[in-house]
Amino acid sequence: DSGVTQTPKHLITATGQRVTLRCSPRSGDLSVYWYQQSLDQGLQFLIQYYNGEERAKGNILERFSAQQFPDLHSELNLSSLELGDSALYFCASSNHGNTEAFFGQGTRLTVV
């Protein structure tokens, strides 16, 4: 167990819908990262938050947004969902930049 908790584990939704993925980082970690992993693909960096503020951005679609709350948990919002958004979404946390990032178990999103 990495100490990073993601909910839900599985999510099935229809095209055009909106979903929210939740992540609770390890105790004491201030940084939260979101990654997308499509089938048999690598890990695509989406966004990083540090202590509530956005710090780095990857190839995140405009339909996607995220935030980190005062209690340091983070949410990834995906809207106007398309079939191609089906993927495994990982959250990771670390104490600071350039240190080990601990991954959660992921949320498997299926858009039908």
Partner 1 sequence: GENVEQHPSTLSVQEGDSAVIKCTYSDSASNYFPWYKQELGKRPQLIIDIRSNVGEKKDQRIAVTLNKTAKHFSLHITETQPEDSAVYFCAASKSTGTASKLTFGTGTRLQVTL
Enumerate binding residues for partner 1 (CB under 8 A): 2, 30-31, 33, 35, 41-45, 48, 50-51, 55-56, 58, 90, 94, 96-106
Residue with tokens 């106007």: 80
According to DSSP, the β-strands at 44-50 and 53-57 are antiparallel
**Least Cβ distance, residue 9 to partner 1 (angstroms):** 11
Q: Select 44 or 65, whichever has its Cβ closest to partner 1.
A: 44
Q: Select 58 or 84, whichever has its Cβ closest to partner 1.
A: 58
Do 104 and 2 meet the contact criterion of CB atoms below 8 Å apart? Answer: yes
